[in-house]
Chains A and B, each alone.
Chain A
Amino acid sequence: MRRRPYFLIFALIFGYAFFYVPIASMIFFSFNKSRLATVWGGFSTEWYGKLLTNQQVLDAAWLSLRIAFVSATIATILGTMAGMALARFSRFRGRTLFSGLVSAPLVMPEVITGISLVLFFIALNGMIGWPTRGFTTITLAHITFSLSYVTVVVQSRLASMDRSVEEAAMDLGSKPLRVLFDVTLPIIAPAIIAGWLLSFTLSLDDVVITAFTNGPGSTTLPLYIFSKVRLGVTPDLNALATIIVVLVGSGVAIAGLIMQRAEKRRERDVQMAIAANK
């Protein structure tokens, strides 16, 4: 009955081209034989080989992965708690401040968070001799900004969850902790996993806050890349970028599909259970 929304279709095509053409071009030129990164000189995979023997890159990548793993795990635990507090406990003292505190890191410019954290860590170190700048301070900083993202994801999932399942378990005599671990957490598990993945990639990606909070000898992969990009576009950097984009991109796409499938199966199960009991 309605005319095809040609304008919207055009906007979508333009938008997705805007998103993906630069990435595609970068991947294409990572197979360039020429030393000049933007002039095509034939097909070659030599830059990938050079990358695998570059100890600096490997060290930086390993450090980044360790920081991302630790900070994502702690941020997920804290963020799940915060999301639960906001979605389930409607009244507690300081709730307004808490909800403001949780969403503020989402919008706070990174330079402000970065400088305030590093000055705080230095002052704290002066007072109690902890933490030393490096792995610890980077991780603490990453937990702090990732926490907000996990909270938002978990909170919205809890808000859209059917609470009658929890109430049914309570009515049947389950203790609150049992309900939490056997009912609530399994239902919001996709959101918790998504939150962990999000924190992990945010940590792997962060330049500014890491630049402020790192210490001598703790160069993460983004810091390494940042210092290289300043010198210009090079084929080995194209190769490194391609590896990261392809790994992360396919990982997320697969995780997304698996979660979507699990979600569908769970919904079907619930529906069958309801139908069977009628």
Chain B
Amino acid sequence: MAALAPATTTTQGQESHLPKAHGLRQWLDREAWRQAIIAIPYLWLLIFFIAPFFIVLAISTGTAQLGLPPVIWKETFPYGTSDNYLFLTQDAIYWQGYLNSLKLAAISTFFALLIGYPMALGIARASGAWRNVLLLLVILPFWTSFLLRVYAWIGLLGNTSWFNRGLTSIINTFFPFWAGGGDHIQMMNTNFAVVLGIVYSYLPFMILPLYATLEKLDRTLDEAAMDLGSKPWQVFRDITLPLSIPGMIAGAMLVFIPATGEYVIPSLMGRGDSPMIGRVLADEFFQNRDWPVASAVAVALLAVLVIPIMIYNFFQAREARRAAT
């Protein structure tokens, strides 16, 4: 860890303005607070974010036992067993869980993009005062409780709710060949409910980066294309859409990655027989108390998500560099 400690930083442009009279003592002072500013949050993240992953890695090679803690790992690490990982490949519930999670997360990301993109564009194109109001209205649900917003949807989707009955009667009236005349549609405890819950909860994460990108676009490009005879949809397809790709990627990653490991929404709204992997992990940890297998599930999930996370970080870093210059 010592190697990762921040080095004394090289001097920057702004310091050349300082008169020499400030002397050595001030220079040392400055270096000291500068180092502290870097080192303290850095150390925090190394201890509470990175170190825990190594513990998970270690425990995933351990053996479960009856007792407290319910695992033997210190003696065996780093020559532990790979049994837990083999076990993941043998029992269908694990790989089905991973596939199910990736599928539902991908579908949710697609719908979040479908709903979020026109909203972000609409906000970016709105006039000044409207824009702030619309933006606040997107951020507001994001500040109020996530759990309670999921709960609000559970109320709407239930078989006896006004929403479900209203929707059913609309469908019965206009599309009688679909619903078959029942008095409700089964929406709760389906994959539909999970996708809806995820789209609803993560939509602000899609809209905000998209808005940030769309808002910065140079509108004179649109006008030039219009002057040259492009139709509005051609302008959108050839200019707006390609230029907003970084925002789409950031938004898609912010929805897709957490959605893959989602636990709350599938356990409250989903089907019990095809759980997402986050729920499998939590059940393994809390109910079966099998820490090594739960750790192996976590490591495998992280391995699946490493590439999307790297893509996200790559675009983040590029965006940060652009903002800094």
Contact = CB atoms under 8 A, between A and B. Distances in A.
Given A91-B10, A156-B323, A22 B118 contact: no
B187 to A, nearest CB: 13
A103 B316 contact: yes
A103 B313 contact: yes
A5 B137 CA distance: 20
A176 interface: yes
B45 A123 contact: no
Contact of B320 (A26, A36, A110, A155): A155
Contacts of A201: 143-145
Size range of the interface on B?
35 or more
Contact of A225 (B148, B285, B323, B324): B148
A185 interface: no
A58 interface: no
A89 B34 contact: yes
A147 B45 contact: yes
Interface string B1-21: 000111101101010011100
Contact of A104 (B6, B125, B309): B309
Contact of A248 (B6, B144, B156, B308): B144
Grouping DSSP codes into helix (H, G, I), strand (E, B) and loop, the B interface class, with mixed when no group exceeds half, is: helix
B295 interface: yes
Nearest to B26: A175
B7 A92 contact: yes
Size range of the interface on A?
35 or more
B257 interface: yes
B323 A159 contact: yes
B37 A84 contact: yes
A226 B41 contact: no
A207 interface: yes
B182 interface: no
A167 B44 contact: no
Interface stretch (A43-51, A238-246, A267-275): A238-246
B66 interface: no
Given A107-B258, A222-B145, A160 B323 contact: yes
A186 interface: no
Interface in A18-41: 18-23, 25-26, 29, 36-39
A123 B55 contact: yes
B2 to A, nearest CB: 11
B317 A107 contact: no
Given A11-B119, A94-B6, A252-B140, A81 B156 contact: no
Contacts of B302: 112
A109 B158 contact: no
Given A12-B134, A36-B160, A85-B37, A104 B115 contact: no
Nearest to A119: B55
20 contacts: A20-B137, A21-B156, A23-B149, A85-B41, A87-B324, A93-B5, A93-B6, A94-B42, A108-B257, A108-B258, A113-B52, A116-B52, A117-B52, A123-B55, A176-B29, A177-B29, A207-B146, A208-B264, A208-B282, A229-B150
Interface of B: 4-7, 9-10, 12, 14, 17-19, 22, 26, 29-30, 33-34, 36-38, 40-42, 44-46, 48-53, 55-56, 59, 69, 115-116, 118-119, 121-123, 125, 132, 134, 136-141, 143-156, 158, 160-163, 200, 203, 232, 253-254, 257-258, 260-264, 267-268, 278, 281-282, 285-286, 291, 294-295, 298, 301-302, 305, 308-309, 312-313, 316-317, 320, 323-324
* Top 5 closest pairs, chain A to chain B, by CB: A109-B261, A11-B118, A116-B52, A120-B52, A22-B152
Given A20-B141, A120-B55, A241-B151, 18 more contacts: A8-B118, A15-B115, A15-B203, A21-B156, A92-B6, A92-B9, A92-B38, A93-B6, A104-B49, A117-B48, A119-B52, A120-B48, A144-B44, A159-B324, A201-B145, A222-B145, A225-B147, A248-B144
